[in-house]
Amino acid sequence: MDLAAPDAALVRSWNDVRRKVVKHLPRGEREHLDALVMGLIAPARQSVGAEEFDRVDRTDRVTIGAETAAVLAKQGVTDLEVLAAAIALPWYDSDLAGNRNLLESVRPLTWPAAMTLAMTRPLSRTSGHPPWRRTAYVHQLRTLPPVLRAAAVVVRDVAAALSRRSPYSHVAQARPFDLTEIASLEQPVPPSNRAPGQPLASMPPPVGSPREAVDLVRARPSERFDAYYMEVPSLGVNRPEYVAEARGLVYLVRWDVPPEEIQAVGPPVNYPGDTGYRQPYKEPGWLVDRITREVRTVDLRWLHVSRLWATPLPPGWRPSGRPAIADGLAADLAMVLPAPLCAALEPVMREVTARYGHLLATDTWPDLIVAWQIARHTVWLLTATGCADPELLTAALLTARGTAPADTLVDDDSDLWRTPAGAHARTARPADAETDDPEATARAHRLTTAPAPLRALVFANAWARRHAETELFGSTPTARTRELNALSTLVHDLPTLHQFV
């Protein structure tokens, strides 16, 4: 299917309902909205064949999107990109039988696509819908601007109304938010006709360190990898050690031996009626979800981990006049720093912006956003406690890192790493194993005699990672609290930081 070509059936369906939205807009903006909507919905056409597209839920999705945007427009929302994201939401939200994966792979990333991804409920990793999945989604929405939270609320109200008119609709099955969830979202949406809510389900604590991921795997009994049991014959009855590698919102855990040393035990375990022959896993391992703590066996050789699950909205958000997405980092920093300090950091921000612009063409940019949030929180804490040293603030930007070693704000070959700020950053950035006790305590003892500015940077980076992961997961990983407590000894002589211990 040629996604660049206009889809006649989709255009007809949109033209049937667009008046509900465009009547609230100036005439000169209506065609622009049409183009935004068609461009956002186009990737969803890959989910069905061209011959099926006329009859697979198209009308329901377009109707829900248009009515959602109409409600927002009546409330005074005139931002065309926000309205387009609300219209496209039913095509990608799993509560509405959508598939966000179809939008995740679209490049280059645009603000409307980023808004849509930020509002969508991630696909369930396992069967069933435990209550904390809904709670996790509520926490995800709480980090968004109010107008996007409102869109996510309204789209479910509209879908519920459509399900009463069309009870067999495949799309209109989303459950509206109840009063408790609305209160948690701090939504100004009128609560009439909403069901009284039950207390929000308690979420399991997020996995906050490689050690915790390994402990979850170690606690599982011996299990098959698909049809085979696997072992390391050279170790006899001893079990091998594990190693964990962070990837976005998951940990990949494997035995700490070369894959060629792992062998299948016995013949495959076939299921009744299964005549197929399954090959043993070449690189058996475990996938540990950091939010849900779910563990499942995988063949790491073939595993593709989507780093865009629960995508954070890129920084630089503003109600109107948004900068280009890559320039949003500098715009975001300008909201934190006074103008002279912001100007002093302009050289490092040029490199950060260039790296971000390059990564926007890949699937790794959300990890850089996590690094940016950590950097932003670090800079805020340092300046809020009296730091006005551009070198130390540059080191704060260099120190921040996402979940993988390469998830830095500045390229590894940058000259900035060969400056005093770069030396501070290397010292202040912890190794993965040092982000939890007892290694965090040992690190604190090692840095006790370091200069006060460096100790402040180490503590600020740990505080910022705790703050950023709390925003990302909806609750604080206990490993982050243990680490911060261990590092509190570094700031015993820095009274401005005591309130953040």
Cα(88)–Cα(102) distance, rounded to whole angstroms?
12
Q: Where are the beta strands (DSSP E) in 282-432?
A: 284-289, 295-299
Residue 172's pLDDT is what? 80
Q: Express each pLDDT in 112-150 by its tens digit.
A: 999 999 999 876 544 456 777 788 888 889 889 999 999
Residue 127's pLDDT is what? 46
Q: How confident is the model at residue 2 (pLDDT cuts 50, 70, 90)?
A: very low
Beta strands 295-299 and 229-231 are unpaired
CB 103 within 8 A of CB 117: yes
Do you know the residue count of the chain? 501
Average pLDDT in the 318-334 region?
A: 90
**Using CA of residue 321, residue 327, residue 329, residue 332, what is the dihedral sign?**
negative
Residue 192 has pLDDT above 70, yes or no: no
Residue 205 has pLDDT above 80, yes or no: yes
CB 94 within 8 A of CB 122: yes
Cα(318)–Cα(462) distance, rounded to whole angstroms?
28
Q: Is 100 exposed, middle or buried (0-12, 13-18, 19+ CB in 10 A)?
A: buried
Q: What are the structure tokens assigned to 400, written together?
A: 């921040």
Residue 47 has pLDDT above 80, yes or no: no
Q: Cα(first)–Cα(last) distance of the chain, in Å?
A: 57
Half-sphere exposure of 2 (CA within 13 A, CB side): 5
Cis geometry, peptide bond prior to residue 43 (ω within 30 degrees of 0): no
- How distant is the alpha carbon of residue 184 from its chain centre? 20
Residue 123's pLDDT is what? 64
Cα(303)–Cα(287) distance, rounded to whole angstroms?
9
Residue 317 has pLDDT above 50, yes or no: yes
Q: How confident is the model at residue 274 (pLDDT cuts 50, 70, 90)?
A: low
Residue 157's pLDDT is what? 92
State which H helix or E strand residue 117 sits in.
helix 111-119
Q: Express each pLDDT in 364-415 by its tens digit.
A: 888 889 999 999 999 999 999 999 999 999 999 999 998 877 789 999 899 9
Residue 54 has pLDDT above 60, yes or no: no
Average pLDDT in the 288-306 region?
A: 85
- Residue 429 carries which side chain, given as an amino acid letter? R
Cα(364)–Cα(406) distance, rounded to whole angstroms?
10
Question: According to the per-residue pLDDT averaged within each range, which of 97-111, 177-191, 198-212, 392-406 is highest?
Answer: 392-406
Residue 124's pLDDT is what? 52
Residue with the bigger pLDDT between 308 and 90: it is 90
Residue 212 has pLDDT above 70, yes or no: yes
Q: Where are the beta strands (DSSP E) in 136-227?
A: none
CB 196 within 8 A of CB 176: no
- Helix 452-473 × helix 420-428 angle, to 10°: 60
Residue 131's pLDDT is what? 77
Q: What are phi and psi of 85, to 5 degrees?
A: -65, -40
pTM of the model: 0.88
Average pLDDT in the 327-355 region?
A: 94
Cis geometry, peptide bond prior to residue 90 (ω within 30 degrees of 0): no
Residue with the bigger pLDDT between 187 and 240: it is 240
Of 104, 101, 23, 111, the residue nearest 69 (C-alpha): 23
Compute the mean pLDDT over every residue in the chain, rounded to the nearest whole number.
87
CB atoms within 10 A of CB 379: 24
Residue with the bigger pLDDT between 471 and 455: it is 455
Average pLDDT in the 271-286 region?
A: 81
Average pLDDT in the 176-200 region?
A: 76
- How distant is the alpha carbon of residue 464 from its chain centre? 17
Residue 90's pLDDT is what? 93
Lowest mean pLDDT across 61-70, 179-188, 316-325 = 179-188
Beta strands 229-231 and 263-265 are antiparallel
- Residue 101 carries which side chain, given as an amino acid letter? N
The three-state secondary structure class of 1 is coil
Residue 386's pLDDT is what? 94
Residue 56's pLDDT is what? 54
Residue 5's pLDDT is what? 56
Q: Express each pLDDT in 460-487 by its tens digit.
A: 999 999 999 988 887 899 999 999 999 9
Cα(159)–Cα(165) distance, rounded to whole angstroms?
10
Residue 235 has pLDDT above 80, yes or no: yes
Residue with the bigger pLDDT between 58 and 425: it is 425
- Residues of the chain above pLDDT 70, percent: 91
Cα(263)–Cα(253) distance, rounded to whole angstroms?
17
The three-state secondary structure class of 230 is strand
Average pLDDT in the 301-329 region?
A: 81
Q: Where are the beta strands (DSSP E) in 28-105?
A: none
Q: Express each pLDDT in 427-445 by its tens digit.
A: 999 999 899 999 999 999 9
Residue 321 has pLDDT above 70, yes or no: yes
Residue with the bigger pLDDT between 57 and 26: it is 26
